[in-house]
Amino acid sequence: MELDLHQAIPAEHLPSMVTSLRPGDLVIRRHEAWGALGDGRAEGRFSAHVDGMPGEVTGAMTLIADGAGSSVVIEGTVEVKIPFLGSKIEGMIVEQLVELFDAERTFTEQWLNGDHSA
């Protein structure tokens, strides 16, 4: 299974060092590809990039049966190819991705528990 997601971070939520390099909202284009579920697990790959920014996010995901539920393990790398500022921007991207994955997890848990208000 494959899916493409487009998510935006409004400019007012971005650090000034990012908006000075690329004004406006950031649109993050994500791609996920999942293999078949077998023996209580599935393997996937993901990538993400922002138009107009020299960098990318890549990694692997593993869905694992966990008792009556499941867990997802996400491992990845962030690389931004901008001299002097790349590592600072990489840190900001990692922070934003962790928040994004947490929000997706919370939404999914609520949805699965019957709360379809979001």
Query: In the structure encoding, which two tokens stand for residue 72, read together?
Result: 């997802």
Distance between CA atoms of residues 37 and 114, nearest Å: 24
Structure confidence by residue, pLDDT tens digits, 52-98? 777 888 999 999 988 888 888 889 888 877 776 667 777 777 777 77
Banded pLDDT at 44 (limits 50, 70, 90): very high
pLDDT at 23 over 70: yes
Distance between CA atoms of residues 102 and 40, nearest Å: 23
Choice between 118 and 72, residue whose per-residue pLDDT is larger:
72
